[in-house]
Chains A and B, each alone.
Chain A
Amino acid sequence: MKRVDVARILGEETTTEDLFVSSIGGILDDWWNHRPGGEDNTLSVSILGSVSSTALGLAIALPHRRVVAIETDGSMLMNLGILCTLGAERPPNLTVVVLDNGLYECIGSAPTLTSRHADLRLIAEGAGCLHCMDVSSEDALRASLRSVLSDGELGFVVAKIEPGMEVWPAEKRRYTDGVEDKYRFIRHVERLEGIVVHASSPHV
């Protein structure tokens, strides 16, 4: 199972009603091509270590909506303390999916510490997170997603993936920057929720 397979299966198991916060790196183009509905439903934060925290805030703000954090081992390892907050708060509408290849693949495949003895599932369990599981096959991933996305509780799925980056043609690569992403995400949330998140300043 490779990263693009996780993106494809996650896209198939979620809907246009869901919201996503993703990491940067190899997942960007894979998820851009597999996100449900081709909607502006994903904020890809431009920093390792803030994916799950951003998803937590979104899940708290919109408790009736499913939120999925698309994490990576490098991002998770950058800021493991967030697992303790997730374990304390246990937002029932949040699912964390970690793409764990044991590598910083985008920058030349230097190993991450999950390639040694660090076990993200065990760390998450120890931090109090619920429904923590490892999967390494497409069938197991699909089954675990169906479970954690429908049980109404926090879920934490570590997808053990093989190295390998999908090379997308230019017309299928994500072309937006962080500011445009934010505005597109805001307008999507506004349409989805029927709320106003940001209105330009009044002329007073």
Chain B
Amino acid sequence: MENEHEQSRATGDLPTYAVAFVDALRAANVRLVGTLPESLLKSVYVGIDRAEDIRLVRVSNEADLPGMLAGAYLGGMRALMITENSGLRQACEPIARLSFAHHVPLVMVVSYRGDFGEPNWWGHNHAQVMGPLLDALRIPYRIVDRIDDLASSVEKAFLHADASQWPVCLVMTGECIEGGVA
């Protein structure tokens, strides 16, 4: 895995997974992405920044994202949030008191920090609490580790969230993260 903390490349070719990710967003008609950037999906943020048809809004705390995406949904715009899985913990309160209390769909994409083989000691706790937390919140989630599954996973996430009027989560790992392998 390459140095995750290297400054994101503002120019140059993007890795295959990031190109496929942005293509998947475009295919699903996503027009807004809210994020607190992290390193495992760093090329995705560069790709979205380059995409003229998808707006990238950065926040300073993941707790801002359920509200922003709820507003976009109510205005008829497909939007999703991208954070590290640690961002789930910050977003818990607005998920519970806004997404749940009003039954507003929410599509979350998180990087699987702490997945098997995690080299950073500080990343393991993120994985240890991620699954139990999503289960406790009763949020359906799927792990996406193959580039070929990106587009269908994103589209299904929107269908599921809209039909259930409830949040869903996609957890990115394997081929679908920076420098990742199958």
**A residues lining the B interface (CB < 8 Å):** 21, 43, 45-47, 49-62, 79, 81-82, 84-85, 88-89, 178-179, 181-182, 185-186, 189-190, 193, 195-198, 201
Q: B101 to chain A: which residues have CB within 8 Å?
A: 46-47, 178-179
B1 → A minimal CB distance (Å): 30
A201 touches which one: B57, B97, B163 (CB < 8 A)? B163
23 CB-based A-B contacts, threshold 8 Å: A45-B102, A47-B93, A47-B94, A49-B94, A50-B67, A50-B97, A50-B98, A54-B71, A54-B74, A56-B57, A56-B71, A57-B32, A57-B69, A57-B70, A60-B32, A60-B55, A60-B68, A60-B71, A60-B77, A81-B64, A85-B64, A182-B103, A189-B76
Q: Which 6 A-B pairs rank lowest in CB-CB distance, beginning with the nearest?
A: A57-B71, A61-B75, A53-B67, A50-B67, A61-B77, A58-B71
Distance A189 CA – B71 CA, assembled complex (angstroms): 11
A106 CA / B79 CA spacing, docked (Å): 34
Judge whether B60 is part of the interface by a CB distance below 8 angstroms: yes
B139 within 8 A of A: no
How many A-B pairs fall under 8 Å by CB?
135
Select B72's contact among A46, A57, A182, beta carbons within 8 Å. A57
Inter-chain contact A189/B60, CB cutoff 8 Å: no
Q: Footprint of A on B, CB under 8 Å?
A: 32, 34, 55, 57-61, 63-77, 79, 93-94, 97-98, 101-104, 162-163, 165
Contact flag A61-B59 (CB < 8 Å), given A45-B67, A50-B66, A198-B162: no
A80 to chain B, nearest CB (A): 9
A52, A60, A81, A178: residue with the most chain B Cβ atoms closer than 10 Å: A60
**Closest residue of chain A to B72, judged by CB?**
A57
Tell me the complex Cα distance, A60–B70, Å: 11
> What CA separation (Å) do A86 and B61 show in the bound complex?
13
Instruction: Report whether over half of chain A's contact residues are helix, strand or loop; otherwise say mixed.
Output: helix
A63→B146 CA distance, assembly (Å): 36
Cβ of B74 and Cβ of A189 under 8 Å apart? yes
- In the complex the two chains form, what is the Cα distance from A202 to B114 in whole Å? 38
User: Which residue of the partner chain, among B58, B63, B67, B163, contacts A54 with CB atoms under 8 Å?
Assistant: B67
Cβ A57 vs Cβ B68 within 8 A: yes
Roughly how many angstroms separate A145 CA and B77 CA in the complex, as a whole number? 28
Across-interface contacts of B64 in A (CB, < 8 A): 50, 53, 79, 81-82, 85
B63 to chain A, nearest CB (A): 6
Question: Could you tell me the distance in whole angstroms from the C-beta of A116 to the nearest C-beta in chain B?
Answer: 23
A189 vs B61: C-alpha distance when bound (angstroms): 28
Which residue of the partner chain B has the closest CB to A63?
B75
Q: Is the CB of A53 within 8 A of B71?
A: yes
Residues of chain A within 8 A (CB-CB) of B32 are: 57, 60-61
Alpha-carbon distance A84/B55, docked complex (angstroms): 17
CB atoms of B71 and A193 under 8 A apart: no
Closest to A62 in B: B75
Q: Which residues does chain B contribute within 8 Å of A85, judged by CB atoms?
A: 57-60, 64, 68
How far is it, in angstroms, between the C-alpha of A60 and the C-alpha of B97 when the chains are bound? 22
- Bound CA span A197–B70, Å: 12
